[in-house]
A and B are shown apart, each in its own frame.
Chain A
């Protein structure tokens, strides 16, 4: 039997949790160079965050390691770290069905370790604790966001103060139903401008084509969100919204070229301030 099949047979996959009993076998890998092994307390969740297809990859050579994330319990997810607000720290609920009251927190890099995959061959994951599908998706999307988010100029980000950030977030709350995506083009996207110079931006709310064609109420909510968003962003000192270009657009009309000329708006893009 191939290594991957054995690992799969034990039940390892994204979101599986390492048992306390397995810790002695992997402890030497839960460390940094020159540092003592990290303590994984009984209420920590040491979660597999490699993609399942990598965890069960057939040969050891193809995927020598499994990535695990040491998640520590917290009282509740904090506003600045939940829902992708930070690409450094994620606060989340691991499984609302089985552990309703549990909230965890982890640092994307400082709490991530590489464990040789062969050590997962002989022992199964924790039978009582595992991430829900949603929590596993959240962690993977968080890592993707960390790697893929655009790097906006600090001088641009600094012009969006906390109150405005909150107001922008409130404005686009209705879009969380996945009915539209906010995209932002910045002319000076690679330039740290001085205080006397303005960033020129174009804002697009790209609307799901089905909503655009058949949901008047949805379109009204999106248009309201757009009006508020543009007003708030344009109110920031040193940011000028191009009102000729900015628009609410059907997803059927927003082109690949326009996608490449713009970035998806994400509050994690503002996270350099942490």
Chain B
């Protein structure tokens, strides 16, 4: 369903009617003599609205017309040809409500539609999560955020601006993630809590106030050696022994 309201014949006057509340359009339509049909999409059907004097016959694009007020016409492509006797205030009321609902929905959707900045923010964070594989709590710590704070950052409907120290922190963690990603497809979390030769862990190094990026990246070779030496998981051993999982039903091709 399209939730837009638009006029098929644009001029300055009609253009100003776009996106207005139906009542505004209705009032405006009443002023139009001769008829000036407008298309409104407020439901599953196309509506044509215009101003006609009672008893006149429409000659415009309104193929089928229902008179719903003394001088306002509502037509839908589904309606048979009608006459003045088919006056139906109820259908007008229904249509009007549908149109208002549709407009409100559009307005709400517009408010909820994520901004480009919000989408970019979430993309950066999810790319970070993918490279690091840290839990939400751990990633929040690395970014100097609370867990709810990170969820807010991850919500495209949240109006969060990345500024100052937090922005710099995010950039620093991104640089670390990029370096790791260049070295391994496995998530850093696989080894980030393993103690290094100096006793520290990379995760501990990443959650301090001032992250020493060079030190973190410098530890990656040691982590990669650990990763290579890690015992295989049970699922890896199963797979290597030929035990494959069954594909689930949701992997069946869509029956569009």
* Residues of A in contact with B (beta carbons under 8 Å apart): 76-77, 82-84, 91-93, 103, 134, 137-138, 141, 144-145, 163, 175-178, 181, 209-210, 212-220, 222-224, 227-228, 230-231, 234-235, 243-244, 246-248, 250-252
Contacts and interface: CB of A to CB of B under 8 A. Distances in A.
Given A214-B186, A227-B122, A231-B155, A137 B254 contact: no
A230 B250 CA distance: 21
A163 B113 CA distance: 13
A213 B250 contact: no
A83 B255 contact: yes
Given A216-B185, A228-B156, A176 B255 contact: no
A213 B190 contact: yes
A170 to B, nearest CB: 13
Given A243-B148, A251-B235, A223 B130 contact: yes
Contact of B248 (A163, A178, A228): A178
B125 interface: yes
Contact of B136 (A93, A243, A250): A243
A105 B129 CA distance: 42
B186 A213 contact: yes
Given A82-B255, A247-B135, 14 more contacts: A83-B254, A92-B255, A103-B255, A175-B250, A178-B248, A209-B236, A213-B185, A216-B181, A217-B130, A218-B130, A227-B125, A227-B154, A230-B151, A248-B129
B126 A77 contact: no
B122 A224 contact: yes
Contacts of B249: 84, 137-138, 141, 144-145
Nearest to B136: A247
A212 B185 CA distance: 9
Nearest to A178: B251
A134 B253 contact: yes
A252 B189 CA distance: 13
A223 B157 CA distance: 16
Contacts of B190: 213
B236 A231 contact: no
A176 B247 CA distance: 11
B254 A82 contact: yes
B256 interface: yes
Contact of A215 (B123, B136, B185): B185
A214 B185 contact: yes
A141 B247 CA distance: 12
B217 to A, nearest CB: 17
A209 B236 CA distance: 8
A250 B135 CA distance: 11
Contacts of B148: 243
B233 interface: yes
B167 to A, nearest CB: 19
Contacts of B234: 252
Given A223-B126, A224-B126, A252-B234, A137 B252 contact: yes
B32 to A, nearest CB: 34
Nearest to B253: A134
A210 B181 contact: no
A182 B246 CA distance: 17
B256 A82 contact: yes
A176 B256 CA distance: 14
Contacts of A144: 249
Most buried by A among B130, B156, B233, B248: B130
A250 B133 CA distance: 9
Contact of B130 (A76, A141, A163, A216): A216
B82 interface: no
Contacts of B130: 216-220, 222-223
B133 A212 contact: yes
Contact of A177 (B105, B147, B186, B251): B251
Contacts of A246: 136
Given A209-B233, A214-B185, A252-B235, A176 B126 contact: no
A243 B186 contact: no
B28 interface: no
B58 interface: no
Contact of A134 (B136, B181, B252): B252
Contacts of B123: 224
Most buried by B among A214, A216, A222, A252: A216
Nearest to A241: B151
A212 B248 CA distance: 18
B235 A231 contact: no
Most buried by A among B135, B148, B233: B233
Interface string B145-188: 00110010011110000000000000000000000010001110
A222 B187 CA distance: 14
Given A230-B151, A247-B135, A219 B187 contact: yes
